[in-house]
Structure 1
Amino acid sequence: MTYLDSIHQSLRLQASASPLVLDLFAGCGGLALGFEAQGFETYGFEMNADCCATYQHNLKGDCVQAKLGSDFQFPSAQVVIGGPPCQPFSVGGHQKGIRDSRDGFPAFIAAVEQAKPDIWMFENVKGLMYRNKPYLDAIISELEDLDYIVEYKLLNAVQYGVPQNRERMIVVGHRGDFLFPEPAVVRYSARDAVGDLACQHDEKSKFLTASMDAYVARYETASKCITPRDLHLDRPARTVTCRNLAGATGDMHRVVLPDGRRRRLTVREGARLQSFPDWFEFQGKEESQFNQIGNAVPPMLAYAIAAEFRRYLDSKFRFSPSEIQQRKNPKQLELLSSV
């Protein structure tokens, strides 16, 4: 099965059905798309208007434009998911952690406390596991006090049907035997995702100028870059971010055409590298669309996680409160390195 066949076959929206999933800091709906494709009903919360418009344009679930805080009132739900803003813990965001006003974890904890879900999860950058590990421990402690077993694992999206090396920490709270998804057998390259588009260009294409080429050369020399930062079609792409999609920087993603010219990626190419199917249409101006793509959870990674949530909810086994207390220490599972 080709990559495009895989994402279009897997990421088909199913009829809305219970259980209800609260999707916090929902972005454009990458997590929600994976969960809806597994038959969940989603209800999103997101402060960015373009993200809300994209979510509502493509998905069955509603998306409320709101700035979430610890005083926000959340409804009951069986599942809570989300991607609390990662800038406080990313290298690009200077890793200010708990001192950063963009910290979304107080709202996430409040949602779990109010909604009392059977299972929840959040996604974040791996920086939260290292320099900001004390804050991660504090978050886990608060969530464990709500009678959940908390486990986390570093997953690389390339192992779940996404043609991109993208490591993210997935933290799950549950009350029974939850299993993280097993890696897929097939791995896809950037050619599998954008090979039919890579050599195309038109009057709207954005090519690097001579001065930009010179800047990129200086950037790669200064950063001791062994492999040029171009999109290499014979392997999975490097991590797609807002900065290297929307920003004209030395780190930008770009395609090398047969004549040697280098072209910046299009919105559709960026979306495919994130595993969004071609029917998924982003709303807003181009820069906003790039930002939505760069911030999203790859839908195929979400699809794999949602399958395990479905399996868990279908299982009848649950630990008693006393057994949960005996398992309060967070269990860090094997870290999956990028390929």
Structure 2
Amino acid sequence: MASSKGVTISLFSGAGGLDLGAEQAGFDVRAAVERDRDAALTMEKNFPKLASPVIQKDILDTPTSDILRAAGLRKGQRPDLLVGGPPCTPFSKSGFWLEWKRSGLDPDASLLQAYTRVLSESRPRAFVLENVYALTYNNRASRPALERLLREIDEAGYDFNLKVLNAADYGVAQARPRLFILGAPKGKPTPVHPEPTHGGKWERRSTGNVERPHVTAGEALDGLVTDSEREEVVGGQYGKLLPDIPPGSNYLHYTAQRGHPEPLFEWRSRYWSFLLKLDPNKPSPTIQAQPGPNVGPFHWDNRRLRVAEAKRLFSFPDEFELVGSRSSVQAQLGNSVPPLLAEKVIAEVKKSLN
């Protein structure tokens, strides 16, 4: 049965950050495609309006007709909204040290084409495509991929706007820049991106609406009562170094350039998030899906973030349930779109439809 709120189809759903934003903006997510079992179960647990169980298949092997049928759409009907964030492995900033990724040889790049295939065949009234902002970089991997993606969107019959948005500029307590491409069929009003509601310093410059400060990690976690987790202890060779690092700093605290009497590291010899600690007076830095054993951000109490804390820093509701092991939950959160950012983006898309 079609939804009176507007039928939404979700691709590469993950934990459902985009989907939760869509529902908060007034749409109903009716079908989802997600091959990871834990993420699919997370979707089913938190999205009761799904018309069918999540399609747990590789999207490359999933016909568009199956997705439309799962949404309860009959032949000739089309969804109101298509959302999705194809996996960003080939274009993520943290992966550019791998030559085969810089050369554009990652097979996951074809998942962008899976999105445009469903776009072309399902003909939604509007779409939202989210990805890492490194897709906009002018290098051998990103530039051809972005040009091909935009060409295929055009060939599918859609006009679009694209822009990199920082989640912190929209009230999320995390500095998380993401690329959003919004579109509608040619001849219809093209959605525009929302104006920032918050602002402040990010990467040595001011962004957003500086008249309303960014929400800080301390504000987001204020009043949250959590139980300790077995996985929160930071051990190994470098875990003992964490207590002396000031909030907001990282391994550079232990360099000669920062005046440490017994420097342990060379200047800029590690990735920036190595031994990175949250500052309660700033938004959290980007939280990764698969951080290494010494990769932060860590809590200012010298431990890993607990699940409930990470959910707050992503703007997921406290009652949102994530299925799977601790590492699976970390991956689901780290790959997700902050729901508050998604809601504000999709609310603008809804305006164009109206």
TM-score under structure 1 length normalisation: 0.79
In structure 1, the residue matched to 2:197 is: 184
1:44-55 superposed matches below 5 A: 44-55=32-43
Aligned residue pairs, count: 292
Residues 115 and 229 of structure 1: CA distance in aligned 2, closer, same or farther (over 3 Å): same
1:117-196 superposed matches below 5 A: 117-130=124-137, 131=139, 132-174=142-184, 175-185=188-198, 186=212, 187-196=214-223
Partner-residue secondary structure (3-state), 2:230:
coil
In structure 2, the residue matched to 1:317 is: none
The CA deviation string for residues 268-298 of structure 1, in whole angstroms up to 9 with x for no partner, is 1111111101010101111111110000000
Deviation (angstroms), 1:72: 2.4
Contact 1:240–1:294 under 8 Å retained in 2: yes
In structure 2, the residue matched to 1:294 is: 334
Deviation (angstroms), 1:150: 2.1
The question of 1:265 aligning with 2:313 is answered: no
Residues 67 and 97 of structure 1: CA distance in aligned 2, closer, same or farther (over 3 Å): farther
Alpha-carbon distance between aligned partners in 1 of 2:274 and 2:87, rounded to the nearest angstrom? 31
Contact 1:205–1:264 under 8 Å retained in 2: yes
Alpha-carbon distance between aligned partners in 2 of 1:97 and 1:124, rounded to the nearest angstrom? 19
Residues 71 and 276 of structure 1: CA distance in aligned 2, closer, same or farther (over 3 Å): closer
Select which of 242, 265, 275 maps to 2:315.
275
RCO greater where, 1 or 2, for CA within 8 Å and sep 6 or more? Answer: 1
Partner-residue secondary structure (3-state), 1:102:
helix
Deviation (angstroms), 1:197: 4.5
1:78-97 superposed matches below 5 A: 78-94=80-96, 95-96=101-102
Select which of 108, 116, 127 maps to 2:123.
116
Residues 17 and 240 of structure 1: CA distance in aligned 2, closer, same or farther (over 3 Å): farther
Structure 2 residue identity aligned to 1:231: L
The CA deviation string for residues 88-136 of structure 1, in whole angstroms up to 9 with x for no partner, is 1112334357522222111101101111112112111111111212220
Residues 50 and 97 of structure 1: CA distance in aligned 2, closer, same or farther (over 3 Å): farther
Alpha-carbon distance between aligned partners in 2 of 1:122 and 1:145, rounded to the nearest angstrom? 16
Contact 1:154–1:168 under 8 Å retained in 2: yes
In structure 2, the residue matched to 1:11 is: none
In structure 2, the residue matched to 1:105 is: 112
The question of 1:253 aligning with 2:280 is answered: no
Select which of 232, 236, 257 maps to 2:279.
232
Alpha-carbon distance between aligned partners in 2 of 1:204 and 1:189, rounded to the nearest angstrom? 26
Select which of 232, 235, 245 maps to 1:206.
232
Alpha-carbon distance between aligned partners in 2 of 1:303 and 1:83, rounded to the nearest angstrom? 15
Alpha-carbon distance between aligned partners in 1 of 2:113 and 2:61, rounded to the nearest angstrom? 5
Consecutive unaligned residues in structure 2, runs of 5 or more: 69-77, 199-211, 253-264
Deviation (angstroms), 1:219: 4.9
In structure 1, the residue matched to 2:257 is: none
Residues 170 and 115 of structure 1: CA distance in aligned 2, closer, same or farther (over 3 Å): same
Deviation (angstroms), 1:214: 5.4
The CA deviation string for residues 125-149 of structure 1, in whole angstroms up to 9 with x for no partner, is 1111112122201110111012211
Contact 1:89–1:97 under 8 Å retained in 2: no
In structure 2, the residue matched to 1:8 is: none
Residues 214 and 99 of structure 1: CA distance in aligned 2, closer, same or farther (over 3 Å): same
Consecutive unaligned residues in structure 1, runs of 5 or more: 1-15, 315-339
Q: How large is the Cα RMSD of the aligned pairs?
A: 2.6
Alpha-carbon distance between aligned partners in 2 of 1:97 and 1:21, rounded to the nearest angstrom? 35
Contact 1:70–1:107 under 8 Å retained in 2: no
The question of 1:19 aligning with 2:6 is answered: yes
The CA deviation string for residues 5-49 of structure 1, in whole angstroms up to 9 with x for no partner, is xxxxxxxxxxx6332111110001000001011221112110001
Q: Percent identity?
A: 30
TM-score under structure 2 length normalisation: 0.76
Contact 1:242–1:293 under 8 Å retained in 2: yes
Residues 92 and 151 of structure 1: CA distance in aligned 2, closer, same or farther (over 3 Å): same
Contact 2:161–2:192 under 8 Å retained in 1: no
The question of 1:65 aligning with 2:56 is answered: yes
Partner-residue secondary structure (3-state), 1:183:
coil
Alpha-carbon distance between aligned partners in 1 of 2:235 and 2:330, rounded to the nearest angstrom? 21
Partner-residue secondary structure (3-state), 2:299:
strand
Contact 1:18–1:41 under 8 Å retained in 2: yes
The question of 1:242 aligning with 2:252 is answered: no
Contact 1:85–1:102 under 8 Å retained in 2: yes
Higher mean alpha-carbon deviation, 27-36 vs 37-46, is at 37-46
Contact 2:162–2:179 under 8 Å retained in 1: yes
